[in-house]
Amino acid sequence: MLEITELEVRYGAVHAVRGASLVVKPGEIVGLIGPNGAGKTSTVQAICGLVPTHAGTVTYAGRNLAGMSSARRVRAGLALVPQGREVFPNLSVAENLTVGSWIRRPGEPRPKSDELLAEFPALQGRLHQSAGTLSGGEQQMLALARAVASRPSCMLLDEPSMGLSPIMVDRVAQAIRVLAEQRDMAVLVVDQGLGIVRKITSRIYVMVHGRLVEHLETRTVGDGRALERAYFG
């Protein structure tokens, strides 16, 4: 569903991503972890067309996305849940969901709020509440629901557990797992550590200084020593 090959991202003289290659299959949840500043967010933004690529390719559903705008990528079935959630705080929950459904693939019906709330029960009863008044966990659920409103086939989640309590991390993890299974959705989860990634992924890529230095099956991670070696050498 999603494949990047020898991807490079540069900001002037700064080489943020260096020859990264990874694959995410339909219905699969894959992790991309690494320390702060490793190039993870730059990788996700390049996939979404938010930053230009210096070299390499991004292929989605067999189609090279070179030269395609972010809006067209969303219409094609890509969705991003950004770091920090980035809900519209002065809009209601219902209005945030409407914004999410505005761009969708040709011929796809606009999902109804009731349909989305069935998948995100934490938002039930809050349709007319301003998004800025929700808890951090509720805002994360709203960010997920807003992305799902565009009916994606591939979702990119940047730091979905940031600032959340352990209980809410579990709820977000469960919501992601259900989305991948029920919608046969490819999901790439970006995080600084194992946390939520260990709970839901089948495979993990480790990025350090812009390079992918490890590719592991999650079940083999164990106590994390292999990841420590990848992080610190």
Interval 158-201: pLDDT, tens: 988 888 888 888 888 988 998 898 888 999 999 887 888 988 99
In a domain, 106, yes or no: no
Residue 114 has pLDDT above 80, yes or no: no
Q: For residue 179, which of 204, 205, 146, 144 has the smallest C-alpha distance?
A: 144
Domain that holds residue 174: 2-88+154-232
In a domain, 43, yes or no: yes
Instruction: Count Cα neighbours of 175 within 13 Å in the Cβ-side half-sphere.
Output: 28
pLDDT level of residue 225 (50, 70, 90 thresholds): low
**Distances in whole angstroms, Cα of residue 33 to Cα of each of 39, 151, 218:** 10, 26, 12
In a domain, 126, yes or no: no
Q: How many domains does the chain have?
A: 1
pLDDT level of residue 75 (50, 70, 90 thresholds): confident
Residue 53 has pLDDT above 70, yes or no: yes
pTM, to two decimals: 0.88
In a domain, 111, yes or no: no
In a domain, 185, yes or no: yes
In a domain, 31, yes or no: yes
Helix runs in the chain, H state only: 40-48, 70-76, 93-102, 113-119, 136-148, 166-183, 195-200, 225-232
Residue 224 has pLDDT above 70, yes or no: no
Here the CATH number for the domain that contains residue 76 is 3.40.50.300
pLDDT for the residue numbered 54? 92
In a domain, 103, yes or no: no
In a domain, 133, yes or no: no
